[in-house]
Amino acid sequence: MPLRHVLGAAAGALVLALSLPGSASAAQGDFTYVYNDSNGTPQAGQLTDPPSGVCLTLPEVASDWTTPAHTPRNFTGSTATVFAGTDCSGPYFSLRPHVGHASERLKVRSVVFS
């Protein structure tokens, strides 16, 4: 096989590989929750287009001395699994894509998206 055919095939393969869409690495949409600030005033927290498959500790409630977040709402296209502890530890609950939500009784410190 002549060298120009090999080079042409290699170049075509490279162009094809670069033109293929990559896998989705983010849960498209918003994930919201409520947390209390240092004065005890409820505040809205939000993650927009969070990465998939990565445990995310909610920054406002990462310390043990803060009260956990609550009232999570999943408006992303992925299932959100919320955890009572940081680093996706402790009891957990899954929220369906686009419509999953829970009341203020569900305490949350971390989340992972499928």
We report the CATH number of the domain holding residue 34 as: 2.60.20.10
Give the percent of the chain with pLDDT over 90: 76
Determine, yes or no, domain membership for 12.
Answer: no
pLDDT one-digit tens code per residue, 4-59: 443 344 444 434 343 344 445 789 999 999 999 999 999 999 999 999 999 999 99
Q: For position 88, what pLDDT does the model report?
A: 98
Calpha distance 107→20 (Å, rounded): 41
Domain that holds residue 67: 30-113
Mean pLDDT, rounded, of the chain: 85
At residue 3, does pLDDT exceed 80? no
How many domains does the chain contain in total?
1
Nearest partner of 93 among 82, 104, 85, 101, judged by Cα: 82
Determine, yes or no, domain membership for 97.
Answer: yes
